[in-house]
Structure 1
């Protein structure tokens, strides 16, 4: 055996240290973050992801939320909700236990709930097209939910968040298209004699009106809610500074254009007759109030974008599944990682599809998700994080303003959750499992 020169010895020791460091990193690395959250995206890609996660089909339920609030309160809460956003800083501010056991489960549950809602809404839009083209057809809603779920089963296999960037660009265009269709259709019907008589009074007795307000707040919170911003930020290529703000600027430009036009035009046209999905108002007793091709087109745009939204909100689930079943030491597309990935993701979509088919109450599911998930993440945690991070004086107005906001919205969230469950119980009297609504 030959002897090593001093320089060779140093290089050998350096190489050994690097190998040890790599092995340590491989041991500590999270397979979910490694395979699902690839830090390769630009701020433009970030804008696509953010737009798909926020500007989604639930915005079509905003006119329905106004039926519980009326014009003044509706516009007020719509504007307030746009100003308050959640940032997942729990791990850095509250510590890993709070991030893992409090914020993490809420985020995971609400994101998976959105996947369920997307599959349900996709099935409803497909059924709307079917009923228009074949009024006497025998296919049921749960069959369309299953069909849409099968399509989502394919999209779920897209390996990483970054891989969705081109799909989310198409999604951005689609949300603009169906929002324009919703607004144009509402204005057309509102100006014609085909639409209902405009009535903006709040329905029901005092009890129903009070619960309706909290139900509406949940819907608005869900529509604006975005529980996966941390994962989107993780997809950005370094340096990250400034890119998130640019992406949010793209997103909020589209938010303002779509949310307010659809809400105001829809509620103006249909008043307190606005349904849980405003596109449903385009058909009255099986007869379209607009040309059939226009109704078809609106629903097709919605269906296509829903698949992208579902794929985006599935990413936190994918990350958790990869963390559990993936092996960071093996290549991403090795047999060791591909087989568990396909099985686990397919199972996640299958469960979501079964839930959507069993409980076809889109408006109610929307408000329940908002009450339990988006309301605390959007309105309560940000002000708590501010006080804990910047530590304003307890004598300062900002400290007590934040405390007041946290207390008020915690109370609102609890009442909204009760209102959402109450509404589901009321609707359950008219529906059954796998109902054909």
Structure 2
């Protein structure tokens, strides 16, 4: 692809309404080449994908990562404000899926076409780092869930690393069998049922534990400096709970009108979806206060079967939900190494697909086993890579594409977004690095965390 694109031309860029055929193929009417499906899915399918994926087992860490450092007042305020800001940024980014009659199915292609090859590579680096770290976090979370199940029946459970390997293998099997986002269609219903089931069970136990725990302490511990850094880490976690940094890739699967359909899917995420993951976050903190664990099931009381059931469902649901966050990396590898004019599970493509998935999950599983610090991945994910992808780059696109015709107050607003996002990136990155340094001093490689 010519990543210089329109950035090398002096004429103004124009936002373009979708035109052409209503249906697309793997190489759609704009000449896009991808091994994965383009222009086929409904907004309901993508909306359900967003709701179930963002309500994965990671939400069981958010009470500790978000509410514990912020407390009640600032915790609720930041959840609301960051959630609204994130929803707005994604709504804005969805509008730039078509520019000058061209459809952009990848974030890096969009930024490269508008700003040149430098921004292409910056976006590629930020996005892929975010998705790689996110997948490692999923592997750690799945391993943690399996270990919790073993801990119920055994006072000396196996090391976490064994369960991390099992989780990586399960993720590999699913991604090999269901290689694309569109192919997940029949699994989203199963994922939705599993998501609803474990959230209901968790909320029931949280209400029971909260009512019986009358001595909860909601104080924020640590030095003043530590509280400030931890607060920025909490903001990073809120960003992670609301966005993925891969909206153009998700939007590429939607049939036309892709802009409106993407916005419909976002409405589903930021209404139905946010109700669940914010609900668990707030209720977990209400039930246990300053004793809230980094993995909420560790706090749950009651019969053993509740703990086993919750962790089992979390593990199974994560197999489906993790696939959304890593699909753009699979798409890039598949498009480069597979013969995209042939079926993915046929002949030579089957061998290549197998090797690509083995290579990817072997590497990610090894790193996750070596650095089993689950909270660090979430905070690092929402710091220097996800903040620009979510907040800064959409405003940069607005300035470049619509800056010449936009009113001065709109341009001022987007320049403010760029500046604020830059400062937020610095602050949250420092906080994440500080947390990692502290944990490196506390833990060793392949620690049984």
TM bin (shorter chain): 0.7 to 0.9
Which residue of structure 2 aligns with residue 247 of structure 1?
265
SS of 1:179's equivalent?
helix
Q: 2:137 aligns with which of 117, 124, 131?
A: 117
Q: Distance in 2 between matches of 1:141 and 1:232?
A: 33
Aligned to 1:153: 172
Change (3 A) 1:141 1:133: same
- Partner-residue secondary structure (3-state), 2:299: helix
Query: 1:55: how far off?
Result: 2.7
**Native 8 Å contact 2:395 2:414 kept in 1:** yes
User: Shift in Å at residue 387 of structure 1?
Assistant: 2.9
Q: Which runs of 5+ in 2 are unaligned?
A: 1-26, 97-106
* 1:206 equivalent among 216, 224, 227: 224
Report Cα offsets for 1:144-185 as digits up to 9, x if no partner: 000111111101112322111121222223222222233222
Distance 1:99 1:328 in 2: 27
Name the TM-score, length of structure 1 as normaliser.
0.85
Larger mean CA deviation between 60-69 and 241-250 belongs to: 241-250
**Per-residue Cα deviation, 1:239-261 (whole angstroms, up to 9, x for no partner):** 43532233223322322321221
- What is the SS of the residue equivalent to 1:156? helix
Q: Give the whole-Å Cα distance in 1 for the aligned partners of 2:407 and 2:329.
A: 42
Q: Distance in 2 between matches of 1:159 and 1:111?
A: 16
Sort the Cα spacing of 1:154 and 1:387 in 2 relative to 1 into closer, same or farther, 3 A. Answer: same
1:30·1:328 contact (CA, 8 Å) conserved in 2? no
Confirm or deny that 1:143 pairs with 2:162. yes
Which residue of structure 2 lines up, in the alignment, with residue 57 of structure 1? 57
Mapping 1:354-433, distance limit 5 Å: 354-391=366-403, 396-433=408-445
What is the CA–CA distance in structure 1 between the aligned matches of 2:422 and 2:192, rounded to whole Å?
Answer: 33
1:234 aligned onto 2:235: no
- Secondary structure at the counterpart of residue 217 of structure 1: helix
Q: CA deviation at 1:214?
A: 0.9
1:73 alignment counterpart: 74
TM-score by length of 2: 0.83
- In structure 2, how many angstroms separate the alpha carbons of the residues matched to 1:38 and 1:412? 34
Matches within 5 A, 1:13-412: 33=34, 35-64=35-64, 65-83=66-84, 84=86, 85-86=89-90, 87=93, 89=96, 91-92=109-110, 94-95=114-115, 97=117, 100-137=120-157, 139-157=158-176, 158-193=178-213, 197-240=215-258, 242-282=260-300, 289-391=301-403, 396-412=408-424
Stretch deviating more after TM superposition (211-220 or 375-384): 375-384
- Please give the alpha-carbon distance, in whole angstroms, between the structure 2 residues aligned to 1:302 and 1:121: 9
Please identify the structure whose Cα radius of gyration is greater. 1
CA 1:191 to 1:346, structure 2 compared with 1: closer, same or farther past 3 Å? same
Q: Does the aligned pair in 1 maintain the 2:136–2:368 contact within 8 Å? A: yes
Aligned twin of 2:100: none
Distance 1:391 1:406 in 2: 14
How far the C-alpha of 1:281 sits from its partner, in A, is 1.9
Once the two structures are superposed, residues 303-353 of structure 1 have per-residue CA deviations (whole angstroms, 9 ceiling, x without a partner) of: 111111222222111111112211234443332322111101111011111
Q: Deviations over 1:206-244 (max 9, x none)?
A: 111111111111111111122222222211234435322
Question: Partners of 2:395 and 2:218 in 1: how far apart?
Answer: 34
Aligned length, in residue pairs: 401
User: What does residue 10 of structure 1 align with?
Assistant: none
